[in-house]
Homo-oligomer: A and B are copies of this chain.
């Protein structure tokens, strides 16, 4: 893409982000210097995707500290904590969000002056953003090696450049495979209810001339059965020691991939792995009925009928062929030892 999904504008001391709710109709970069505005943007999914949330959370705390009128360090720390809590509450399932926030918050807590705290916060957030770019490239390289020379890859939701700072995780694997000379076509599941597959994945791939076609989520199994899918690659919002949490529908793809003996890969930053937690420790966000009730201006769900709108589902690790991280490819069983002590990061 032509610009980062989330970035810091040094000149104005504010955050800039692509408003993903407007895609594909409009490409708009929003600049914000208000923490409440940023929280609202995360809540309405203007910024989404686990790695991008980590970066947005990090810049969010930096913004709070940078904009603070506090005259002493305890007040500044309290303000930073408040901002951190506000931001963490926006998306409870996404582990990267809390992780990015906490990394910056700990710098603020360790600083011995207001000026040092402000500098350190922005520097740490910028470092997280830069690391994200590097790690997506590394995820891409590790994952690309797993794909056949010529293949069609099915993906769900958007684990692309728009979910990160650049390059992407699942789509990073596809970009790296293409860059290495492999021939890759993409089947993007549209991803109900918010259609990140159509709106974001198809948009960012087509923008770069990558071959992509969109299907209803429910058509994936049919294409698998017809032999048209060689691999499934998805992102992850959290990987516990027993399950992958990702966009609702991921589990269905995993079950169907197993039924058809198709490899099912999860591509995610190492920071997504939360090996200290188990599936039962994670609360799955239940989003509003309204996301299923309207199609643009048209009401499609009758008045008074309820909906079950889980944002994520859990895929047990035994259905996952491999988890692709910047530190390498991990194949289940994912023990703490095998993951190199992934429990430390939480």
Chain A residues proximal to chain B, CB less than 8 Å: 24-25, 156, 187, 189-193, 195, 198-199, 202-203, 206-207, 212-223, 225, 248-249, 251-252, 255-256, 258-259, 292-310, 313-314
Q: Assess whether A255 is in contact with B259, with CB atoms less than 8 Å apart.
A: yes
Option from B216, B255, B309 in Cβ contact (under 8 Å) with A292: B216
Cβ-defined contact, A305 with B199, below 8 A: no
> Using Cβ atoms and an 8 Å threshold, which residues of chain B touch A217?
192, 216-218
**Nearest CB to that of A212 among chain B residues?**
B305
Could you tell me the distance in whole angstroms from the C-beta of A186 to the nearest C-beta in chain B?
10
Contact residues in B for A304 (Cβ distance below 8 Å): 206
When all copies of this chain in the complex are counted, the total is 2
CB distance from A228 to the nearest CB of B (A): 9
Interface pairs A-B: 6 shortest CB-CB: A296-B296, A218-B249, A296-B298, A221-B252, A222-B313, A24-B302
What distance in Å separates the Cβ of A244 from its nearest Cβ neighbour in chain B?
13
Q: List B contacts of A295 (CB < 8 A).
A: 195, 295-296, 298
Interface on chain A toward B: helix, strand, loop, or mixed SS? mixed
Question: Which residue of B has the minimal Cβ distance to A220?
Answer: B252
**A255 touches which of B24, B191, B221, B300 (Cβ 8 Å):** B221
The answer to whether A213 and B305 touch across the interface, beta carbons within 8 angstroms, is: yes
Chain B residues with CB under 8 A of A309 = 215-216
The smallest C-beta distance from A146 to any residue of chain B, in angstroms, reads: 24
User: In the complex the two chains form, is A251's CB within 8 Å of B225's CB?
Assistant: yes
Residue of B nearest to A203 (CB): B302
Given A25-B298, A219-B310, are A252 and B256 neighbors across the interface (CB < 8 Å)?
Answer: yes
CB A206 to nearest CB in B, in angstroms, measures 5
Contact B214 A301 (CB under 8 A): yes
Extra contacts, 14 of them, besides A198-B293, A225-B313 (Cβ < 8 A), are A187-B308, A190-B292, A193-B216, A202-B305, A203-B302, A206-B304, A214-B308, A215-B292, A218-B218, A220-B252, A222-B251, A225-B314, A295-B296, A296-B296
